[in-house]
Amino acid sequence: MSDQGQQHPIAIYFWIWGLLFVLSAFSYMVDYLQFQGYLRWTLILVFMFLKAGLIVAVFMHMMWERMALICAILVPPGLILVLIALMAGEADYTFLTRLAFFSDFSLFSDFAH
């Protein structure tokens, strides 16, 4: 019986290291060029997710795993992100509803005094 594992070409790892270096340089350029507002945070998050995806796919060997294992690991965080996005979308509605509700009471409290 052979206990030999699967070997991947080292060139793949060098390409990924290079790509991670380039993505990190782009991430630092966002701060260096002093982007502001939503553009800055969008770029930072995009570069962060790209780097994390590369690390998980290659260095944690997820690229070579079965689809069932990939889905078992990636689907739950994906669903959590969807639920967070739904809650963030509802946050403004809830805030505006509370603002309207409590502003009505402040009008009536002036008449009580």
Question: Which band of pLDDT confidence, cut at 50, 70 and 90, is reported for residue 26?
Answer: very high
For the question of whether the overall pTM of this predicted structure is more than 0.85, the answer is no
Residue 48 and residue 16 share a domain = yes
- Residue 26: CB partners within 8 Å, gap ≥ 6? 43, 47
Give the mean model confidence (pLDDT) for residues 68-75.
81
80 and 59 assigned to the same domain: no
Stretch 19-24: mean pLDDT? 95
The crossing angle, in degrees rounded to 10, of helices 10-32 and 37-54 is: 170
| pLDDT value of residue 107 | 52
Range ranked top by mean pLDDT from 57-61, 68-72, 85-89, 96-100:
85-89
Q: Encode pLDDT of 28-50 as tens digits.
A: 999 899 989 999 999 999 999 99
Domain range for 109: 66-113
The mean pLDDT of 5-33, rounded to a whole number, is: 89
Same domain, 79 and 60: no
44 and 93, same structural domain?
Answer: no
